[in-house]
Structure 1
Amino acid sequence: MGVQISSPDNQENRKKPKFQFPHVFIILFGLTIIMAVATYFIPAGEFDRTTTEDGTTVVVEGTYHSVESNPTGLFDIFLAIPNGMSESATIIFFILIVGGAFNILISTNALDEAITSISSKMNNKEIYTIPIVMVIFALGGATFGMAEETIPFMLVIIPLAIRMGFDSMVGAAMVLLAAYSGFTAAFLNPFTVGVAQTIADLPLFSGIGFRIFMWIIFVGASIAYVMFYAKKVKKNPEISIMYEEDQERQINIPREYDDTSISKRNILVIAILILTLITLALGVIFIGWYIQEIAALFIIMGILVGLVGKLRLNQIAERFVKGCQDIVMGALVVGFAYGILVVLEESSTIDTILYGISDLVTNLPSALTAIGMLITQSLLNFIVPSGSGQAALSMPIMAPLSDLVGVSRQTAVVAFQMGDGISNILTPTSGAFMAALAIAKVPWVKWVKWIWPLIVIHYLLAALFVTMAHLFVW
């Protein structure tokens, strides 16, 4: 890949942009300030909470009461950032460990050879890689709630997408959009469907047939959207929304591999990577692994691929540190995002917002109540981006509410999972999502610009699913 060097005259003649969009940290800090100001106008209040037999803390419907106001002070705004870092420390260190481990892997050049080999074998058929990869990640989202686990894959799929003639937006979407689409229309996700149905006193994973139908339509729409864009970029790379950013990327794909072969040593390195990812999936699904166990798994992977790749011990350590340095921005984004939630939690305004929104739903005509639940969950997800957290907060209220207004509890769960899931690939308060974008080096503003038409389609599909469930299924 050639490097273009601009002359000083060209640089001087180049027009300076009149407006530069704020950095992601500025956006998140601005949202923190807005939420802090809102705490002076939103009354403080809380629901009573209880613990279920499985250890889930849920709110008790009908127990909302006012508490002493605790608006966010000027110093508290800045204190929210380190507090957010502290609350999200597990995810932050997970991101750093993954970044370090993958940099060791990249240093072996195994990925370079593998990407070159795959792209050459897919010559003129690259577009079919998109549905294959996206279905795999969508199944991960539908079965074990794949979210933070997408972060390591960004470092593999984006170079593959660029090497195949697409752009980094396609690569990011193949992972993020697929996983979150599967998460939204999940049929076996224990963190959303499982928790919500348990709280609603429904048989675990009941209604799976209708949810599989939703998953096929929802994921299919996402795949079609990505493929349509990818074909246009393949035909004319300059129309890519990420064209300028991708020109500055260092993909490290050697052009001298004429035979596109992979050395035996690097085949073993790739085998270790594949075994790691399989172990990750099995550990999450069958053993209940979470961030700490997955991070430990990637430390093992980093050491093994470094030794197989014939790196000295000091080189392994140095590559690990360099990987942490390259990914530190993505890690810090999580802390900034959590800072917004800290403001709402410490001011006791989250429950007030939930109470106000749910009160609006009860006043809607019965035919629109199911759609009102979808809207309620969608709005709530911007302040409670955790799927299981939102289920624990909202379902104890929505389940009995659905009984009162003539909506089945199964429909209430569908409204929850759609409202909770769609905006996960949009809201800046979702730490894992923002971290993945930062690691992918895809600006949040460009992501929103690219994906908003699909978001509209997703919400229309969600409204259709909720209406179908209400009128014809349950």
Structure 2
Amino acid sequence: MKLRLPNTFVLLFLILAMIAAATWVVPGGQYNMVTIDGKARIDPNSFHYVASNPQGFVALMMAPIKGFVEAAQIIGFVLIVGGAFAVLQRTEAIDSMIKSVARAHTHSAFVRAAIIPVFVTMFSLGGATFGMSEEAIPFILIFVPLALALGYDSIVGVSIPFVGSQVGFAAAFLNPFNVGVAQGIAGVEVFSGMGYRIVCWAVATAITVGFLMWYAARVKANPTLSPTYALDQEKRKENVVGFDGFTGMTRTHGAVLMIFLGFMLAMVVGVVKYEWYINEIAALFLVMAIAVGVVGRLNTDEFVAAFIQGARDLVTTALVIALARGTMILARDAHIIDTMLHSLMPLVQSSSPVFAAQKMFAIQSVINFFIHSGTGQAALTMPIMAPLADLVGVTRQTAILAFQFGELTTPMIPTSGITVGVLALARIPWITWAKWMIPLQLMYLVMAMVLLVPPSLTGWQ
């Protein structure tokens, strides 16, 4: 019998119902708050029991709308960012740039040699900045034929856009959908700590590039080493071409990309120098969408349609955030959040904050198997993990990094819709892909545990 996990919404509502039920049996508890460096923090030695306030059926049904109201700023931010990037995609500037470079492989030995590091870095940068994830799926139709044409295999063709974007997403430094949301919920300045996150992104991307180049060289030298060798022989017979009708990148596309880059730099300056928060960043994305639409020569109907479609694509994410926040509202109103923190503390607490941070990473990796939406997972776990970090001597910034690294398992887990979708498009069996991914996943595991050491030892803020 095939195991089938419930839909994310069903899973979250089950969690909501379990928390409502737990409010009837878990005693109320409370920590006292102290002010440290101008910020409210939990006093780890002040826990005491208080009267609980069990939540019934009516409270359960009201929790989602209350969650929507309390998370309105984050939800609005996500919808605006989604709309802005949909406008950028509608101009076809990013697609055009990738196709231009990919087509050049037929004319340049340098391009053929650089195609893996260049494209993996580009997709990783997309994941790290604007949260590229599902957007990588269409590129499978380009990079699988390209990889086969270069003498590689379908695994290389899938890995360039898919693993590239996913590792960038997990090790992001400007991604509004995981870093921005998690920091907003944790009460940490949005996009702060960018310097060390850039180091983490560079290390994760370099490991991915190095592993792929090593694997690609082996397969090129001996194609029979590929787990997809037989499947690829059939694909080569089909002679699939991903560049039909493409005439090259236009000046308009180039101008759009320059505007996009300019606005990303403006966001960095605004966050670092002027301490911009969610409202300012959302406004910047809105202005970027308008500028990109004008330069990209989209008429008003095209602009509005693209923006609405982009926001519509993230309605699911918005509802996940609302449901996740609803779980915290039930627990908060019942006065059991501090009791839960008190119970979790022994599981995470260690003699060193290094091990505490690594335990957080392990917990987030397990949660990622069930809830692999970066935004939804942040909304569900950060209200617990942020104050828990205070209790075990880990900074909230480090706890957020541990949460991010938990998403490094996404390219492998069968519960991820994008993973299953990408493999179906490339016609690669999941078990074949999973076996190939094991060495890379082990490298990511070691990398994450090592990269969590410096911020844990230095009290990274």
Please give the range of the TM-score, normalised by the shorter of the 2 chains: 0.5 to 0.7
Which residue in 2 is equivalent to 1:181? 171
Tell me if structure 2 keeps the 8 A contact 1:46–1:64: yes
| Aligned-residue offset at 1:256 | 0.7
- Write the letter of the residue equivalent to 1:324: A
Q: Distance in 1 between matches of 2:243 and 2:316?
A: 27
User: Residues 65 and 212 of structure 1: is their aligned pair in 2 closer, same or farther, counting only changes over 3 Å?
Assistant: same
Q: Distance in 2 between matches of 1:92 and 1:417?
A: 19
Which residue in 2 is equivalent to 1:320? 307
Which has the larger displacement, 155-164 or 322-331? 155-164
| Aligned-residue offset at 1:293 | 1.9
Which residue in 2 is equivalent to 1:132? 121
Which residue, 332, 355, 359 being the options, matches 1:375?
359
* Cα offsets for 1:182-228 (capped at 9, x unmatched): 66xxxxx99999xx9x9xxxxx99xx99x999887666555556778
* Cα offsets for 1:127-146 (capped at 9, x unmatched): 223552377579xxxxxxx6
Q: Does 1:394 align with 2:378?
A: no
Which residue in 2 is equivalent to 1:46? 30
Which residue, 135, 139, 142 being the options, matches 1:163?
142
Which residue in 1 is equivalent to 2:276? 289
TM-score (norm 1): 0.63
Gaps spanning 5+ residues in structure 1: where? Answer: 1-16, 139-145, 184-188, 199-203, 241-252, 400-408, 428-433
* Cα offsets for 1:416-455 (capped at 9, x unmatched): 576444335569xxxxxx9x98899779xx9x97988866
- Write the letter of the residue equivalent to 2:92: N
Tell me if structure 1 keeps the 8 A contact 2:164–2:205: no
SS at match of 1:311: coil
Q: Distance in 2 between matches of 1:273 and 1:71?
A: 50
| Aligned-residue offset at 1:122 | 4.9
User: Residues 312 and 332 of structure 1: is their aligned pair in 2 closer, same or farther, counting only changes over 3 Å?
Assistant: same
Which residue in 2 is equivalent to 1:347? 334
Residue identity (%): 24
| Aligned-residue offset at 1:275 | 1.6
| Aligned-residue offset at 1:82 | 1.7
User: Residues 71 and 390 of structure 1: is their aligned pair in 2 closer, same or farther, counting only changes over 3 Å?
Assistant: closer
| Aligned-residue offset at 1:295 | 1.9
Residues 259-270 of structure 1 mapped to structure 2, 5 A cutoff: 260-270=247-257
SS at match of 2:321: helix
Which residue in 1 is equivalent to 2:68? 85
| Aligned-residue offset at 1:321 | 2.2
Corresponding residue pairs, total: 392
- Write the letter of the residue equivalent to 2:16: T
Q: Does 1:255 align with 2:238?
A: no
User: Residues 270 and 231 of structure 1: is their aligned pair in 2 closer, same or farther, counting only changes over 3 Å?
Assistant: farther
Tell me if structure 2 keeps the 8 A contact 1:130–1:223: no
User: Residues 83 and 424 of structure 1: is their aligned pair in 2 closer, same or farther, counting only changes over 3 Å?
Assistant: farther
Which residue, 25, 32, 45 being the options, matches 2:9?
25
User: Residues 231 and 467 of structure 1: is their aligned pair in 2 closer, same or farther, counting only changes over 3 Å?
Assistant: same
Tell me if structure 1 keeps the 8 A contact 2:137–2:418: no
Q: Distance in 2 between matches of 1:227 and 1:120?
A: 20
| Aligned-residue offset at 1:163 | 2.5
Tell me if structure 1 keeps the 8 A contact 2:386–2:399: no
Q: Distance in 2 between matches of 1:457 and 1:41?
A: 42
SS at match of 1:42: coil
User: Residues 130 and 115 of structure 1: is their aligned pair in 2 closer, same or farther, counting only changes over 3 Å?
Assistant: closer
Which residue in 2 is equivalent to 1:3? none
SS at match of 1:286: helix
SS at match of 1:71: coil
SS at match of 1:262: coil
Q: Does 1:119 align with 2:102?
A: yes
- Write the letter of the residue equivalent to 1:72: Q
| Aligned-residue offset at 1:272 | 1.6
- Write the letter of the residue equivalent to 2:143: M
| Aligned-residue offset at 1:172 | 5.0
Gaps spanning 5+ residues in structure 2: where? Answer: 107-111, 145-155, 174-178, 230-241, 368-375, 424-429
- Write the letter of the residue equivalent to 2:168: A
User: Residues 458 and 105 of structure 1: is their aligned pair in 2 closer, same or farther, counting only changes over 3 Å?
Assistant: closer
SS at match of 2:34: strand
Q: Distance in 1 between matches of 2:78 and 2:121?
A: 26
Tell me if structure 1 keeps the 8 A contact 2:93–2:254: yes
- Write the letter of the residue equivalent to 1:102: F
Q: Distance in 2 between matches of 1:35 and 1:452?
A: 35
Q: Distance in 1 between matches of 2:213 and 2:244?
A: 26
Tell me if structure 2 keeps the 8 A contact 1:418–1:462: no
Which residue, 41, 50, 59 being the options, matches 1:58?
41
User: Residues 162 and 47 of structure 1: is their aligned pair in 2 closer, same or farther, counting only changes over 3 Å?
Assistant: farther
- Write the letter of the residue equivalent to 1:398: V
* Cα offsets for 1:293-338 (capped at 9, x unmatched): 2221222122222222333334422332233233322332222232
Residues 422-437 of structure 1 mapped to structure 2, 5 A cutoff: 422-423=405-406
User: Residues 295 and 182 of structure 1: is their aligned pair in 2 closer, same or farther, counting only changes over 3 Å?
Assistant: closer
* Cα offsets for 1:163-187 (capped at 9, x unmatched): 222677753543342243366xxxx
| Aligned-residue offset at 1:380 | 8.4
TM-score (norm 2): 0.64
User: Residues 347 and 377 of structure 1: is their aligned pair in 2 closer, same or farther, counting only changes over 3 Å?
Assistant: farther
| Aligned-residue offset at 1:358 | 2.9
Q: Distance in 1 between matches of 2:58 and 2:143?
A: 49
Tell me if structure 2 keeps the 8 A contact 1:115–1:160: no
Which residue in 2 is equivalent to 1:104? 87
